[in-house]
Amino acid sequence: MKRFSNWFSKLTTAPVDPILGTALAYNADKDAKKVNLGVGAYRDDAEKPYVFKVVKKVEQEIINDPKLNKVPSDL
């Protein structure tokens, strides 16, 4: 394994990924009132899934729009 350690020691660190950087900043923040709006499912204080009102509103608009084809393309 020693021969690989020399090879890896020559590598430089890649820049922080913008999305991962946001998660790192969130994890480093000590504010008790912080809210994680990253990718994933949101949950309330009881750990139940939480859907934002705006998401429900847009879902309903999509359902009600007769111009949109709601049939999956793989059928």
DSSP line for 17-40? PHHHHHHHHHHH---TT----SSS
Residue 28: pLDDT band with limits 50, 70, 90: very high
15 lies in some domain: no
Residue 31: pLDDT band with limits 50, 70, 90: very high
Q: Which residues pair with 49 in a beta bridge?
A: 43
Q: Which domain holds residue 53?
A: 39-69
Instruction: Using the predicted structure, report yes or no on whether residue 5 has a pLDDT greater than 70.
Output: no
- 48-68 residue pLDDT tens: 988 899 999 999 999 899 888
Check: CB of residue 42 under 8 Å from CB of residue 49: yes
How many distinct structural domains can be found in the chain? 1
CA distance 75 to 73: 6
Number of separate helices (H) and strands (E) present in the chain: 3, 0
Q: Which amino acid is at 44?
A: D
Percent of the chain with pLDDT over 70: 87
